[in-house]
Amino acid sequence: MHTPYSLGWAVAGIICLVLANIMDCIDGQLARLTGIKSEIGRILDGIAGDIWFGCIYICFILRLSAEYPAVFGPMTIGAFILVGLLSGFSHLIQAAVTDYYKTLHLFFISPEKGKEFERSSSIRKRIGVMPQGVNRFFSTLYYYYTVVQELATPHLQRLLDQLESQYPNNTIPEHLRMGLRQDSRRIMNIVDFLTFNGRTIPLFIFVLTGHIWLYFVFEIVVLNIVLLVGVKRHEAMCRDHYRTDN
């Protein structure tokens, strides 16, 4: 038996998520305008977004368990939890690669705009001189987050190694930056589907229509296909630049 669907609660949840995203954007803009920002603040900002969706997945699992208590027999709750974990893992990988590509694109624009782009080697060095505490803990989490980003982009890492070798201290000539960002911009059109707006618009539609199980299908199947296409094209771009510039 299905539980009653409450459109009011669905709308309230959507409004809360939209307001949270607006406040997150305002917070980021204020930090840039005032210059009051820190490395740990940037890391926590990213973690906050993952917590938002983690809460959404938990609520979806509870909702599905109430709506379809016996759809998979005695394995129903376990199956929904497994799907939720798979969806959450997909979200983490998609968000990691998307954030990496977008920060890299800013790095290609200018050293100033891309100063937040870091490789795991520099993060590891910074952690090595940090005292034990909260900052070191979250910086360590960020280090492993960056390692995942780098493992997913081997040809990009080769290109970055080459650029660092030929142009130390981020002295990449402007004509080369222009070519890199022009190629990167074309791939950003694909990556945009993996951003907050790209995933929340379908999320809102599924919630409003009462078919929340479709969001898990969308994230696990559709968005992972988009991710694979985006990574494949970005890696091909990096491979071409590596061969050209080598």
**pLDDT for res 161:** 92
* Coil, strand or helix at 11: helix
Give the pTM.
Answer: 0.84
Share of the chain above pLDDT 70, in %: 91
Task: Report yes or no on 1 lying in a domain.
Answer: no
**pLDDT for res 34:** 67
H-state helical runs in the chain: 7-34, 39-67, 76-109, 120-128, 134-151, 154-166, 174-191, 196-209, 213-217, 224-245
> For the residues 40-67, what does the mean pLDDT come to?
84
Q: Which is nearest to 46 in space by CA: 95, 114, 118, 102?
A: 95
29-33, 63-67, 227-231: the lowest-pLDDT one: 29-33
Share of the chain above pLDDT 90, in %: 32
Burial of 32 (0-12, 13-18, 19+ CB in 10 A): exposed
- CB < 8 Å & 24+ apart, contacts of 82-90: 83/216, 83/220, 84/57, 84/58, 84/60, 84/216, 86/216, 86/220, 87/57, 87/215, 87/216, 87/219, 87/220, 88/53, 88/54, 88/57, 90/219, 90/220, 90/223, 90/224
Q: What is the pLDDT of residues 199-238, one digit of tens each?
A: 899 999 999 988 899 999 999 999 999 999 999 999 999 9
Task: Report yes or no on 38 lying in a domain.
Answer: yes
Q: What is the pLDDT of residues 114-171, one digit of tens each?
A: 777 888 998 899 898 988 888 888 889 889 999 999 999 999 999 999 988 888 877 8
Q: How many CA atoms lie within 13 A of 62 on its CB side?
A: 6
Task: Report yes or no on 204 lying in a domain.
Answer: yes
Quote the DSSP letter at residue 114: T
**pLDDT for res 244:** 59
Q: How many domains does the chain have?
A: 1
**pLDDT for res 1:** 45
Domain that holds residue 159: 7-245
Across 46-80, b (16+ Cβ under 10 Å) vs e yields eeebeeebeebbeebbebbeeebeeeeeeeeeebb
Task: Report yes or no on 2 lying in a domain.
Answer: no
Burial of 86 (0-12, 13-18, 19+ CB in 10 A): middle
Alpha carbons 129 and 192: distance in angstroms, whole number = 36
How high does pLDDT run on average in the chain? 85
Greater confidence (220 vs 184) lies with 220
How far is CA 119 from each of CA 83, 125, 143, 216, 220, rounded to the nearest angstrom? 32, 10, 9, 32, 28
